[in-house]
Every structure is written in structure tokens, then in C-alpha cells.
Chains A and B, each alone.
Chain A
Amino acid sequence: MTTELGMPSIGVRSGTAGVPHLAEDDPRQTKKEFTSDQEVRWCPGCGDYAILAAVQGFLPELGLKRENTVFVSGIGCSSRFPYYLDTYGMHSIHGRAPAIATGLATSRPDLSVWVVTGDGDALSIGGNHLIHALRRNVNLTILLFNNQIYGLTKGQYSPTSEVGKVTKSTPMGSVDHPFNPVSLALGAEATFVARTTDTDRKHLTEILRAAAEHRGTSLVEIYQNCPIFNDGAFDLIKDRTQQEARIVHLADGEPVAVGPEGDRQVLVRGAGGVMEFVPHAESEGRDVVVHDAGAADPTQAFALSRLDSPQMTHVPMGIFRSVSRPTYDDMVRAQVDAAIDTAGGRPTDADLDALIHGRDTWTVA
């Protein structure tokens, strides 16, 4: 298998370029090979199972040497993820996985580095590291499992919980205004931002494919159900009768639209740039919003992320943004390589001797 995954990557290096791939004649990898011998310990019905199955099923498709794949996580139910994959992995500390992964990815271009994090891990305690990884554009794929709750600590509200949420720590309802992770990532000028859900295996896999292919930091928000502490948080968009009217499937180059055939609503730009959905018939002659994931300016992608609301009237899903920008780790390595090349190759003992001598020496006989 080669690195070409059919993504629009002409002239752009793939996210897995530089990572050793299996040879043509190597046997194909299986999901089983990516499954560790550890017993999975999430609660029955937890959305994390479906995500794990999708990732284990997808990884063989990349055709990377398994030993060159690394999963780094923080702390939370979701962050137990690496234990269940038979790759290299580190279950680190709360919120810090993006920082740790930055050091690893920067020093090892031959690794495919993934971060698994939760809404609390990524957006509360680790918010700083997340936005800095995104702005730097380190070649990482970040899977943010958003269950809108702190699962591991037994159900406190999280930075993505809706205002008014009643939890153990908010008996009268939460007064915290939530983050929209996609808006946040776009605000940090992330180069790849997508949203998907735990239960839509096909969509999830497509997004994983695009995220892995992207060179730079890919942020994938995955809506994940926590049946124990926040059950049904995403029911409105999972319910077959409701979802068609609510999920806005983002398709690059296509008008942004929602709703079933026959009751199609199309997104148009009205006076003052304000966007609104109008019935398909009324969109004739209007300024229809066409999705452009590759637009250099993240403004429209950001506007799309704002269609979202806690009421889930309209929830955009798919790839909001996918643009190419030099990655931090490639540039850091390029500077080191250039410095080594200019100096004539790897340093020898004599080079080190010269370095520590400096300019001003004197000799005592």
C-alpha cells in the first residue's frame, strides 16, 4: 500500500510521508494486529468502544509499520485508549498530551503520532497546549472525544456542557458558557478541523483517513456518548427521524445545505453577511454559501462552526477546514538539518572540541 489515499494532495506531503510503510509484498495488516491483549474497561455502551473499533479497523488501511505508530493520551476515560491498541503508546497526565506529542513528533519524523483526549482534558486543563499545537501546526492527529462531561471523575460538567446543565458540581445548573471546539480550533488557525460522531462508523473512518493524510495538526472532534453520566447528549442528531433535518453535511465545493430531499434548506448570505438557511426554492439568485475547506482565510469555516448551538438545530459535520501550511516539526528539523549541512555534516569530536574552546583561549605550559 502506498501513501496515496486519493486525497487532494498534489504537491503537498502526506501526513504519513517519512513514516516507514509496509512493503508491497508484506501481508496486509489486520484489525486484530492493532488490538492489544488488554481487557477494555469502559462502561457497557460507552461510545468509546465504537471509536476504538473504528480506529483499529482503519489503521491497517494506512499501511504504516505498526511500530512506527504512537498514540499519546492525557487523562480521562477516553485517554485510556492507547492501552487497547498494539502500537507504541503513552497514557500521560491530564491535558498535557499535545505538548508531549509535540516533542515526540518533532524529534521523530518517522513516527505517525496521534493524540487522544477528552473535552475536559483538551479544553479545560490542556486548553493552552491544544491551541498552541494547533497554531504551530505540528504533524499530529488529535482525536477529541467530546461527551460534554467529565466521565472519569464521575460526571461533573465540562467546558463543552451546555449552560444550565445540572451535575454533581452544578446542582442549580451550570452558568459556564461552553466552548465550541471547532470554533476554538479555527480561531487558533488550525489547518485541519473536522467533526464526526462515534456511531457513524463510515463517516468517522472517512474523517480519520483525511485527518491522517493531512500534514499538520488535524483536530477531529468526535461526539461521543457517555451513557452513564450524560446519556443521550447527541440523540437529536443520532435519531433517524431528526438527524436529516439537523445535520449539515459539509461537502467541499458544494452549497451548504440541510434537510431531506423535498425539504432542502440552503445556506445563503444575507444582508451584512449574516447566514441563514432558506428553502431550496428561495435560494435562487441568492448568495448561496459554497463550502470551501481549502480557503486560506478561515472566516467562512468559522461562520459555519457558529451554525451550531446547544439546541442542535443545525449541526455541521465533516471537514470544516483543510489547508496546507508548513508544519512546525518539518521546519524545526529543516533548520537543524540546514545547520548540519552548512557545517559539513554531523559533528565530530574535533567539532565539539572547537565548540567548547570558544574564541578566547590561552595556554598554560
Chain B
Amino acid sequence: MTQTQSSGKSVQRLDRVVIRFAGDSGDGMQLTGDRFTSETAALGNDLSTLPNFPAEIRAPQGTLPGVSSFQLHFADHDVLTPGDAPDVLVAMNPAALKANLRDLPRGATIIANTDEFSKRNLAKVGYDANPLDDGSLESWHVHPVALTSITVEALAAFDTLSRKDKERAKNMFALGLLSWMYHRPTTGTESFLEKKFGSKPDILAANLTALKAGLNYGETTEDFAVSYEIAPAKMAPGTYRNITGNAALALGLVTASHRAGIPLVLGSYPITPASDILHTLSGLKRYGVTTLQAEDEIAGIGAALGASFGGAIGVTTTSGPGVALKSETIGLGVSLELPLVIVDVQRGGPSTGLPTKTEQSDLLQAMFGRNGESPVPIIAPQSPADCFDAALEAVRIATTYRTPVFLLSDGYLANGSEPWSIPSVSELPDLTVEFATEPNDTDDKGEPVFHPYLRDEATLARPWAIPGTPGLEHRIGGIEKANVTGNISYDPDNHDLMTRLRAAKVERIADTIGDLEVDDPSGEATVLVLGWGSTYGPIAAAARSVRNTGAQVARAHLRHLNPFPANTGEVLRRYDKVLVPEMNMGQLAMLLRAKFLVDVHSFTQVRGLPFTTVELADAIVSLASGADTLAPDSKATDTVAAKGGHA
């Protein structure tokens, strides 16, 4: 549908758009993307975002490793992923163009900042000729815009500002231009800038002017003849905000502590991509939150466990390398049977790996990465906003069953964002905690005594008796304890019993988590796609696209990885074939095979990025049509090997 505006320019209606802002790390692309996202959220589109940035704070300017990007998918219907391929690429320099071009389908739009396409900058990334002039971009719609110089010109009147300061406002010019193109309101950005630069009036005015100039540029230049409208999505009634996974997790933890009626104590050590949870919680002291930035990960979890012993909800936040350091303390938590929440925002591994990229490769670490038989419940959020609910669930399990709990988020969930229908706090689950206050047993002489390992019959949890409670003084420790009394015991039968009790306690959690639900609208699918964690969006989008072709596929998603929902085995056996996509080498698949003896088909990639809808849809289709091997990774190794290999 096309209309014509008063300016003589036409307006086209679209149902969905994917935009990628790309530039140098110092170009402010994350901020630009965030602002465009806010404007889009305010307009009522559904959306999903994918920030993608280098591990270095400022890699050398203008180089490929220094490229930082932000992708946003928004639509008039529900959005499940940040989009496979951009419709529009904003490239602030040649590096940004080069790094992103291969993701750009032919016919897509490129807005390139011509000022940065100098000989020197082109040479830095290996362009012999300027791709904007040499015809190599023929298959795309290229809008060359001298973003930097137009911005500087627009700011000519600001003589207190240096040229550098003026140039810095070019991202606001780009935002203005894109806001014009997609009819985004800029009032939110204006008030954002007022808050950010309130104390620097000339910088504020310059940014506002650059934003306006971008809008006007779209309106007046002939190069941009069309602008686009995307109607609001039909979303369930409610109040919404846009939220990233890390923010949702932090808010979920605070809310859980409020609903539990006990303080939140975070012991943490900074690590990408988990640090923002530490940052957010550190600003929430008003809600009774205590944060300790410890000397290392071990001290972080130690402080959290100490606080749990004292009756707080102890939480530690980290990423894979930090989990490795915390393992021994998690084992202590298993033995002490105290509540503790371990948030692992997974990133590419092994070792330092890919700090800013996403992966799901800590599942087996969470499951087995400790000495001895040391079962720990594991849950995983499925989308950025879902991190809120997952945090509440982690606290529920930890406090009810007196156990450490793993919450496995990942880099994609942490930094990605989506609209969130905000719940009402008073309607959230009641997590009230009860501490032991009185003796719970009698000794041989019939005198009342307190036995720290006398268990609740339903949950097998032991009492939580906190220091300061008269009459319940007791000692706990990592040495094996006699069931009931908690005294040191090296008795063989007792150790066997305690090992089984700790395992049974974790298994009992399945009583309170509900069944695994299957999405199989026709009831005729023969292939089930089973995922966990952040692959939810891509899997749902792939299932939708497969169903749109008239084929059938069933889909289910695990929130609880340990224990699995009680019906998991039955669900797996219900289908001829089960596809398990994961951003690892098949860790859930291994657990499912071991536990249920079902030969699931593992489909994996570890490129540091979420699955695309297309690759998952292809995998589903080829499995449904009889293919038996589905490993893009093994193909990749084959090719590398064939080429002589440099992997």
C-alpha cells in the first residue's frame, strides 16, 4: 500500500523491518540502536534486538575487529527473533560495510556515511576501490550520505564546540534520518538527551540539532523518496516496556526478594556479559539490596553463601569462566543445603573464548561441573523478558528446597531486548520464606532438640535455622553429615543415604514445575523440535515458517533442565523424530539420550550468534523429509580440512 504525503513523498506500509546500525566502536551505534528501539516500542510495534559488539572497548579505529552493530527487528505482528537478515544497513564506515555486507540480502538498503570512505579507511579494511563507486554494490539500494560533514555543517553555529564534538553527533543525525524513514516519534529521544546532557547545555543543543537535521534531511532530499509505516502489533492488553535480559534478571531478583520477605545479597566479580546485573543491582539499595564486588568469583559466591546462612537470599552472577572458579563453593552449598542462586550468563568458550558473543555451552558444566555426586537444579530463561520470571523461579526453588540453583542465561538474552508486559507485583507468586524457630525433634531422653538435617517429608528440604535463633545453635560443614542430626559421619551407609537423599530432593522439584507443554496445532506432526534457553525465538519462528508452507512440526521448550518435567520422556517418544537445536556441541541432546534412551537429532552451531530462522527451518524440513545427519558443524570442519585447514 502506498500513499503520497504533502511533501510529495510517498509512504509505504510494511509489516516488518529489520535494521542494522553498524559503525566503529566509538560511533555510538549501541546508543543509536537503543534509542531507535525505544521509539519503536513507544509506537507499539513488537520487536526484538541483537546488539553485537567486540570484546575490546576501542579496537583500532576503522578496522574490522572494531565494528559494533545493533540489529532491530520490528513488526505489526509478534516478533520472535531479531531477524535473520537486515532490510536496511546503516554503515558508518567501510569496515562496517565490509563486516556486514555478507548478511545483507540483495535488494536491501544501504545507507553509507561517505565521509568515512577515504582512501586510508578503505585501505584499512582491504578495499582497493571505493565500493560506493565501483559498481560492486549494484544489487543493493545504496544511499550515499555525507553524514559527518552534513552534521558538522548543521552545527556550524555552535562555536563553543570543537569539530570532534560536532562529528560525534553524527549518530543522532543518522537516528533522525531513520526516524523520518520509519515514522518514529523522537520525543522520547529528546527527553533522553535532556537527561543525559542536562549539565552540558551546548552538547545537548548540538545533539538535538543533529537529530532534527537528520529528520529534515529525510524530508527534503530527493535521494529519500519513500518513507515507511509499520502499524502497531496486536499485543495482549497491558502495560509494556522494552527490557533487556540482564535488566529483567536484576529486576526479577529484587522482586523475588521482596516477595520472599528476605533481603537480597549479591556477591559478584565483574565479567562480560554478566556485569550489568551487578551494576543494576548496585543501584537498587533502596530495595534493601546489598551488593559486594568481591576480590574474585570464589569470594563472590562465598559472600553470597555466607549471607544465605544468615537468612538472606544469596545470589552470585557470572559467566562460564567464573562458574569454573565457583564450583567448589557450589558443592559446599549442595552439602550445606542452603539456598543460593548462581546466574551464569553464558558466552563463547572455552577459556576466555568469545566474551561478548552468545553460546549455550555451560549446560554440562552446570549439571556436572563439581566433584562428587552434586546435583544442582538448573533453569533457563527463553527470552529477554522471561529472565524476570526465571529469576523468581530460581529463588523459589532455592528457598523451598534449600539448594543452590543454576540460572543459565546467555549473551544474546542478556543484551537483547523485547517488549515486556509488566506484571503486577502483588499478583506474582508468594515466595514467603519460613525459618525454623523451635526444636524439631526429641533426644533419647525425650528432651526437645534441634536437628538441622531432619527433612520435610514433601520436599526433603532441611530446616533453615539462622544464627540469632535461640536454642537452635548448630554446626554445618562440607564433611558428610549424619542424616537428621547433621553431625560429622563417615558411616558408609549414611553417605549412601545422604547421596541419594540429595539427589531425590532435586528430583522432587519436578512435582512443582508442571509438564512440558507441546505446541503441535494439527496434532499430526511427526517431528518435534525441542529447545532450551534463548533458542526459543528462533525455533518458534522456524516452526512458524515451516507451518506456513503447509508442513507440520511440533515444538516444545524446556525451562527446567534439571530436573526435567515429569512427562519429558513421554513427549520425546511421542514423535518419530526429535530435533534438538543448541548453540553448543549437543549438550542437551547428550542428557536426553542418556536419560531417556531416545536417539534425538542434535543440530548445533557455535558462531557466537543466535540461530537464523532459515537455517532452523531448513533443518526441520530436511529431518522431516528423511535426512539423518544434520550437522552444519561437521560440514564446516570437512571443508576446512579439505582446504588444508586453519581451524
Task: Give B291 Cβ to nearest chain A Cβ, in Å.
Answer: 8
Task: Give B37 Cβ to nearest chain A Cβ, in Å.
Answer: 10
Q: Flag if B258 contacts A361 (CB, 8 Å).
A: no
Q: Is A351 an interface residue (CB 8 A)?
A: yes
B258 proximity list for chain A (CB < 8 A): 347, 349, 352
Task: Give A316 Cβ to nearest chain B Cβ, in Å.
Answer: 29
B300 proximity list for chain A (CB < 8 A): 99
Q: Is A339 an interface residue (CB 8 A)?
A: yes
Q: State whether A362 and B287 are in contact (beta carbons under 8 Å apart), knowing that A92-B332, A128-B295 are contacts in the complex.
A: no
Q: State whether A336 and B285 are in contact (beta carbons under 8 Å apart), knowing that A70-B467, A104-B306, A129-B299 are contacts in the complex.
A: yes
Q: In the docked arrangement, what's the CA distance between A109 and B289, Å? A: 15
B476 proximity list for chain A (CB < 8 A): 89-91
Determine the residue in chain A with the shortest Cβ distance to B295.
A132
Task: Give A114 Cβ to nearest chain B Cβ, in Å.
Answer: 12
Q: Flag if A107 contacts B312 (CB, 8 Å).
A: yes
Q: State whether A111 and B306 are in contact (beta carbons under 8 Å apart), knowing that A106-B265, A347-B287, A360-B42 are contacts in the complex.
A: no
Determine the residue in chain B with the shortest Cβ distance to A33.
B473
Q: Flag if A103 contacts B305 (CB, 8 Å).
A: yes
Q: Flag if A96 contacts B235 (CB, 8 Å).
A: no
Q: State whether A107 and B310 are in contact (beta carbons under 8 Å apart), knowing that A67-B470, A335-B285, A347-B258 are contacts in the complex.
A: yes
Task: Give A125 Cβ to nearest chain B Cβ, in Å.
Answer: 10
Q: Is B479 an interface residue (CB 8 A)?
A: yes
Q: Is B548 an interface residue (CB 8 A)?
A: no
Q: Flag if A357 contacts B239 (CB, 8 Å).
A: yes
Q: In the docked arrangement, what's the CA distance between A349 and B428, Å? A: 11
Q: In the docked arrangement, what's the CA distance between A342 and B243, Å? A: 27
Q: Flag if B475 contacts A99 (CB, 8 Å).
A: no
- Looking at A80-88, A178-186, A267-275, the stretch in contact with chain B turns out to be A80-88
Q: Flag if A99 contacts B288 (CB, 8 Å).
A: no
B188 proximity list for chain A (CB < 8 A): 360
A108 proximity list for chain B (CB < 8 A): 310-311, 467-468
Q: Is the interface of B mostly helix, strand, loop or mixed?
A: mixed
Contact flags (1/0) for B458-488 with A, using CB distance below 8 Å? Answer: 0000000001111111111111000000011
Determine the residue in chain A with the shortest Cβ distance to B476.
A90
Q: Give the total of B residues in contact with A, Cβ under 8 Å.
A: 73
Q: Is B424 an interface residue (CB 8 A)?
A: yes
Task: Give A91 Cβ to nearest chain B Cβ, in Å.
Answer: 3
Q: Flag if A358 contacts B241 (CB, 8 Å).
A: yes
Q: State whether A67 and B306 are in contact (beta carbons under 8 Å apart), knowing that A90-B476, A364-B240 are contacts in the complex.
A: no
Q: Flag if B468 contacts A111 (CB, 8 Å).
A: yes
Q: Flag if A129 contacts B295 (CB, 8 Å).
A: yes
Q: Flag if B475 contacts A96 (CB, 8 Å).
A: no
Q: Is B329 an interface residue (CB 8 A)?
A: yes
A104 proximity list for chain B (CB < 8 A): 306-307, 309-310, 467
Choose one: B251, B332, B475; the contact of A355 (CB below 8 Å): B251
Q: Is A241 an interface residue (CB 8 A)?
A: no
Q: Flag if B302 contacts A88 (CB, 8 Å).
A: no
Task: Give A334 Cβ to nearest chain B Cβ, in Å.
Answer: 10
Choose one: A93, A101, A128, A360; the contact of B328 (CB below 8 Å): A93
Q: Can you give 10 contacting A-B residue pairs, CB < 8 Å?
A: A87-B473, A89-B476, A92-B302, A93-B332, A93-B478, A103-B303, A111-B310, A129-B299, A349-B258, A361-B240
Residues of B within 8 A of A (CB): 38, 41-42, 44, 188, 232, 235-243, 251, 254-255, 258, 263, 265, 267, 284-290, 292, 294-296, 298-300, 302-307, 309-312, 314, 328-329, 331-332, 336, 388, 422-426, 467-479, 487-488
